[in-house]
Amino acid sequence: MKEGYSDRDIEKIYHTSKSKVSFWHCRFKAEGFEGVRDKKGRGRKSELSEADLKELNSILENPYQMENGYKKT
C-alpha cells in the first residue's frame, strides 16, 4: 500500500477481515478513492419519513423535563 501499510495492518487497524481489506484494495486500485467510498442506494432504506427523522433528532438533541424533576439529556 502507498503509506507502507500491508493488508494485514489495515485489517488490524479497522478490526475487519482480510478478505474485506483485499476487496477494498482491489476497488482502490481500479477506481481510486471513489472506489472505496460508500455508494448511494446501498443498505436498508429507512422506515422513518424525513419529518420523523427531524422530530427524532429534535428529541435527541434537546433535553426534556422528566416527571421526577430531572432533565433527561
In DSSP terms, 72 is beta-bridged to 64
Amino acid letter, residue 41 = G
pLDDT of residue 1: 58
Interval 25-72: pLDDT, tens: 888 889 888 888 877 777 788 888 899 988 888 877 777 777 787 776
pTM, two decimal places:
0.47
Instruction: Inform me whether the pLDDT recorded for 19 exceeds 80.
Output: yes
* All three cell numbers of 36: 472505496
pLDDT of residue 2: 59
Mean pLDDT confidence for 11-36: 88
Task: Read off φ and ψ for residue 71, nearest 5 degrees.
Answer: -95, 130
Q: What is the dihedral of CA 43, 44, 49, 51, to 10 degrees?
A: -50
